[in-house]
Amino acid sequence: MAEVVPHYAELQRILAGHVGDLLAAGLADMRPAALPGRLDDAVEAIGRFLGRHATDDDHAALRRVAAARPAVVDWCERLTAGTVPASLDHNDLHAWNVLTAPPARPRFYDWGDAVVAHPFASMLVTLGVFRSEFQLADDDPRVLRVRDAYLEVFTDLGPRAELVTELELACRVGKIARSLVWLRAVRSEGFANAGAFQRAPLQTLAALLAESPLDLG
């Protein structure tokens, strides 16, 4: 992925100038300024989806997330004040959604979950799936290699340390958008027919408070 993510970052840099067009095309607005409201939406909608199937633990998880709203507002304000503009977030960018045939440039597909967001939120899935698949810590050199290859495309926008902090914040709050994407995927089938993914929206939202910003829930 370290060879792939710079190409994706370059695409994001280009599309940052077309956010209005992306929103007009129907992509959901998951930019930092919108996320506190999206958090409220997610807590309510996931609670409704669980309905009578919700356990005491489920209710407790939703209460914890709702109580964290002031922290979410702070995180989002910090991102909004940053130097990295909003762009396209694939929202499910992992190795199985990339077509490669060197020497041609990689091609990214399966854009059905895409939103407009802080671009760094894309790395939630990219790095989260990578670390989970290989059971790696956040600071494992293999994880950092992918992260740094991605951030290299943005180094004209700020010092690397600040970009790293911004990426971690963007990945953390990006779980709000991802929980809503999960909910959209399973809600039409209903809780009883969602199988192993019945609690995926809740688990993703609850991971907002996990120790690691890359924890997918």
CB 125 within 8 A of CB 91: yes
Domain assignment of residue 217, yes or no:
no
pLDDT number for residue 149: 98
Tokens of 215: 């924890």
Domain that holds residue 130: 5-209
Q: How far apart are CA 119 and CA 13, in angstroms?
A: 9
Q: How far apart are CA 123 and CA 85, in angstroms?
A: 15
pLDDT number for residue 183: 97
CATH number at residue 201: 3.90.1200
Stated pTM of the model: 0.95
Domain assignment of residue 55, yes or no:
yes
Question: Quick one: three-class SS letters along 23-42?
Answer: HHCCCEEECHHHHHHHHHHH
Domain assignment of residue 172, yes or no:
yes
pLDDT number for residue 186: 95
Give the total number of structural domains in the chain. Answer: 1
pLDDT number for residue 88: 98
Domain assignment of residue 216, yes or no:
no
Give per-10-residue mean pLDDT for the chain (217 aa).
95 98 98 98 97 96 98 98 97 93 87 97 98 96 98 98 98 98 93 93 98 97
pLDDT number for residue 189: 86
Please give the span between the terminal C-alpha atoms of the chain, in angstroms, as a whole number: 22
Domain assignment of residue 214, yes or no:
no
